[in-house]
Amino acid sequence: MSDKAPKKILIVEDEADIAQLVKFYLEKEGFQTSVAKSGGEALKLLKSEHPDLVILDLMLPEMDGTEICKKIRSAPDTALLPILMLTAKAEESDIIVGLELGADEYVTKPFSPKTLVARVKALFRRLGREPDDRQSAFKFGPLAMDLSRHEVTVSGKEVSLTAKEFGLLEHLLRHPGRVLTRDVLLNAVWGYDYYGTTRTVDVHIRRLKLKIPMLDHAIISVKSLGYKLSDQGMA
pLDDT in tens, 37-64: 998 999 999 999 999 999 999 888 888 8
Q: In sequence order, which residues have a C-beta less than 8 Å from that of residue 215 and are 6 or more positions away?
A: 143, 169, 208, 209
State percent of the chain over pLDDT 70.
86
* Beta-ladder partners of 34: 10
Tens-digit pLDDT profile for residues 131-145: 455 678 999 999 999
For residue 162, tell me if it sits in a domain: yes
Is residue 82 exposed (0-12), middle (13-18) or buried (19+ Cβ within 10 Å)?
buried
Task: Give the model's pLDDT for residue 77.
Answer: 81
pLDDT for 109 equals: 83
Flag whether pLDDT at 28 surpasses 80: yes
Identify whether residues 102 and 142 lie together within a single domain: no
Q: What is the pLDDT of residue 52?
A: 93
Residue 175's domain comprises: 137-233
Q: Considering Cα of 130, then 131, then 136, then 139, what sign does the dihedral take?
A: positive
What is the band of 100 on the pLDDT scale with cuts at 50, 70, 90?
low
Tally the domains of the chain.
Answer: 2
Indicate whether 31 and 73 sit together in one domain.
yes
Helix (H, G, I), strand (E, B) or coil at 154: strand
Q: Are residues 144 and 115 in the same domain?
A: no
Q: Which of 50-64, 87-101, 174-188 has the highest mean pLDDT?
A: 50-64
At 2 the pLDDT is: 47
- In what helix (H) or strand (E) does residue 8 lie, and over which residues does it extend? strand 8-12
Q: Is 195 within the bounds of a domain? A: yes
Residue 210 pLDDT greater than 90, yes or no: yes
Give the integer Cα–Cα distance in Å for 188 and 165.
12
Phi, psi of 103 (to 5 degrees): -65, 140
CATH number (domain holding residue 223): 1.10.10.10
pLDDT of 35 higher than 70: yes
Pairing mode, strands 53-56 and 8-12 = parallel
Q: Are residues 41 and 95 in the same domain?
A: yes
Q: Count Cα atoms within 13 angstroms, Cβ side, for 164.
A: 14
* Residue 166 to residue 190: CA distance in whole angstroms: 12
Report whether pLDDT(193) > 60. Answer: no
- Cα–Cα distance for residue pair 177/182, rounded to 1 Å: 15
Last residue of a domain, one of 96, 127, 158: 127
Same domain, 104 and 147: no
**Domain containing residue 81: CATH number:** 3.40.50.2300
The confidence score (pLDDT) of residue 50 equals: 93
pLDDT at 198: 72
Is residue 132 one of the residues assigned to a domain? Answer: no
**Rounded Cα distance, 209 and 86, in Å:** 35
Final residue of a domain: which of 127, 151, 175?
Answer: 127
User: Is 192 a residue whose pLDDT tops 70?
Assistant: no
